Amino acid sequence: MGEITERNGSICQLVPELLSSFVDTFVDYSVSGLFLPNFNSNPNSTSSPTILQTHCPPPDRLVAIGDLHGDLEKSQEAFRLAGLIDSNGKWIGGSTTVVQIGDVLDRGSEELKILYFLEKLKREAAKSGGSIISMNGNHEIMNVKGDFRFVTKKGLDEFKNWADWFTIGNHMKALCKELKKPKDPFSGIPAVFPGIKKEFVDGFRARIAALQPNGPIATRFLSQNLTVLVIGDSVFVHGGLLAEHVDYGLDRINKEVRDWICGLKGRQPPSYVIGRNSLVWLRKFSDELAKNCDCSALEHTLATIPGAKRMIMGHTIQKSGINGVCSNKAIRIDVGMSRGCTNGLPEVLEINKNSTIQILTSNPLYLSKEKPYLDANRMDGLGVLVPEQGPKQVEVKA
């Protein structure tokens, strides 16, 4: 072992950064089955990251995807449905901009795999002039906060597996005297939790270590998430936006939530992302019955954002599929596609540069004909969303 350590030391003297990058790539592949080379991060940094872009011009093609909740297969189906990836999961979406509305975490068993999958696609899309924008849902906020009420056993196992490989990687880096000693993400985390079964403790600790403010997974993946986004005339938010949030400042919200995730704002999240009227929990515009939606509050909010015509949100499962209320000023895109939710058929929203909206659906009932936004069996009071010519239909391959 002494000889191995000495040889490792010689290598470290020559290329410490290269070895560190190799170890990170090795851990990535062991956890996700994907290679993500050249990731440049400093988990020990406490400086504020780069500014997040809250307002973006409209792209030629925009695709919005709802809640994914730990179901990698359904997530890939949604991307394939929109013509964004091929059968091997590689980006073929060209210059398309994709917005994933949040809630990658909880309810499923492949949360980390989805995070890695999205990161891989972000890099591939950038090479083609495209982009993928990830957003915070209430389940991202809950997990960073340490609220694991909706975690599954397999979800805990996935994080335990990550922690095992991450620890091995840190031990490998520690052999290099030229590298700064890696921070122990388990430092300060209790070994026992009252009320938690012994069989779940390791997974519980791993999840806290990974997702706590300034945790390795939180900083690497979640810190670049937006909490509110405006692209052209569309406002994107997980739960809903109120005028008071706009008054507070959309850029300010994104920065403060990001800084909290990075460990710069203490343990508790900002008040506007917790509680029933927060950006990630609001349901004022999400009830499937239009009469129960507060269209007046919605219109007032949109009026405070220059050029905004509609608000696009997830969070509340729409059993009837993607739909709109309040004269289509509120578009709801959470179809409960994860098998940890309702195992709904994937649907995604497409917006073209001229602001035309279409629903892309995998529902076999509509593959040979136009999918109407409403039919005789739908709940009364919902408006028409798709154009008269109907949406483009794309079949999801098994």
Is the CB of residue 83 less than 8 Å from the CB of residue 393?
Answer: no
Q: Give the sign of the dihedral formed by CA 312, CA 316, CA 320, CA 321.
A: positive
Of 121, 20, 19, 135, the closest CA to residue 67 belongs to: 135
Where does 24-137 show beta strands of DSSP type E? 55-56, 61-65, 97-100, 131-134
Angle between helices 138-145 and 198-211 (to 10 degrees): 110
Look-up: residue for tokens 């905004």? 308
Q: What's the longest Cα–Cα distance across the chain?
A: 77
Non-local CB neighbours of 330 within 8 Å, separated by 6+ positions:
285, 286, 293, 295, 298, 310, 311, 313, 324
CA distance linking residue 268 with residue 317, whole number of Å? 27
Q: Which of 55, 69, 139, 171 is catalytic?
A: 139
Cα 103 versus chain centre, distance: 6
Where is 152: in which H helix or E strand?
none
Question: Of the candidates 146, 179, 175, which has an alpha carbon nearest to the alpha carbon of residue 43?
Answer: 179
Q: Is 107 left (phi over 0), alpha (psi -120 to 50) or beta?
A: left
| First-to-last C-alpha distance (Å) of the chain | 49
Give dist(CA 230, CA 99) in Å, integer: 11
For 272, the token pair is 């506007």
- Number of Cβ within 10 Å of residue 223's Cβ equals 21
Question: Is 139 annotated as catalytic?
Answer: yes
| Beta strand segments in the chain, E | 55-56, 61-65, 97-100, 131-134, 228-231, 234-237, 310-313, 323-325, 330-332, 347-352, 357-361
What amino acid positions are annotated as catalytic residues? 139
